Chain A
């Protein structure tokens, strides 16, 4: 059994033939070769697979590709500018050592961008609460929270976090 899905991924329209049971994360990784979105747990717990679907962050391991029919999907690959300039949140993660092995990072960054969009001036505890769906086994979260606070500030200012952090 298979069906056709059409959606916009990182600004580009894509149409593919998939099995109905194909998860969105597998669609992105295996059909579109966008391997920046990770699979950590596959049980809806860790958030390594977070992407934006119509502007909301979701766990792409817990959504079928067919459920995103007609939607606009953004993955970590779609965040930086066309010329390669990092998104302020990505720049803030680099500047503040918000990663060690980097496995959780794409999901962390996608969740962080979504939470700052809703709440441009989050407090530290709001950042921690907003990242409850993302697990990191390396950093102890401290620098991730620092990075998100700096990224939020840079997003407000519309400038790279590296400059904002000086």
Chain B
């Protein structure tokens, strides 16, 4: 790790101002992605701004029909939250299957979506649950937030404060996980809001995407069988030592069916 300075702001305003003054500032949340990156010397920030003492980023609350989860909520907290389990059980279930127990104790919602790993779980929930990403400056629709592999709509120095998730009538997340890392080789989040159905896929492509053909088929007939014969193309999907693009394309339909079945 290269040397850096460490700051621990006590408010959002202070965090934003430290970031704007830093030569090459980097936010530190749970550190579960950033510290491994720094250890490999893949980044060289001059200052780390630790968000752990910023009260505006904490907590989980209800807001009308939605849930607002603070950016600093760790995966263990979301997974164990009675409120999340009651309002959006699929989201609690997603959180308890991220990484392992120790990663879940530190890794945060804000860090996960800011990092936008193509295999991360939360992006599928942000998109399927019609999420809104709240920052110190604005609100960004979940559909517009993830712009590419490890890329988001965030400006430099912009701080995610939380995510508002709409509570669906039914939802489930099915993940075909990498057995070593537990990241998604393919993860599909299905959510039904009245007559509207959202099918968001992570792990398969460079960034999370919706499968509109599946959404239309499920809107007409919300059963796993409705997806038989609805395939996605392998074109542009990820291929690596874990799975080829063709295999990932196949898994999208399999996981989507499992998610629909889990909604029953």
Q: Are A63 and B39 in contact (CB under 8 A)?
A: no
Chain A residues bordering chain B, tally (CB within 8 A):
29
| Option from B4, B106, B182 in Cβ contact (under 8 Å) with A62 | B106
Residue A19 is within 8 A (CB to CB) of chain B in the complex: yes
Residue A108 is within 8 A (CB to CB) of chain B in the complex: no
A38 to chain B, nearest CB (A): 14
Q: Are A21 and B1 in contact (CB under 8 A)?
A: yes
Report chain B residues within 8 Å CB of A58.
102, 105-106
Q: Are B102 and A111 in contact (CB under 8 A)?
A: yes
B42 to chain A, nearest CB (A): 13
Give the size category of B's interface with A. 20 to 34
Residue B35 is within 8 A (CB to CB) of chain A in the complex: yes
A114 to chain B, nearest CB (A): 7
B197 to chain A, nearest CB (A): 31
Q: Are B101 and A57 in contact (CB under 8 A)?
A: yes
Known contacts A21-B1, A114-B101, A133-B101; is-contact A62 B32 (Cβ 8 Å): yes
Known contacts A58-B102, A133-B100; is-contact A20 B5 (Cβ 8 Å): yes
B194 to chain A, nearest CB (A): 35
Q: Render A36-67 as a binary contact track against B, CB cut-off 8 A, 1 for contact.
A: 00000011110100100000111100111011
Residues of A within 8 A of B (CB): 1, 3, 19-21, 23, 42-45, 47, 50, 56-59, 62-64, 66-67, 69, 111, 114-115, 130, 132-134
Residues of B within 8 A of A (CB): 1-6, 8, 28, 31-32, 35-36, 38-39, 48, 50, 52, 76, 99-103, 105-106, 180-182
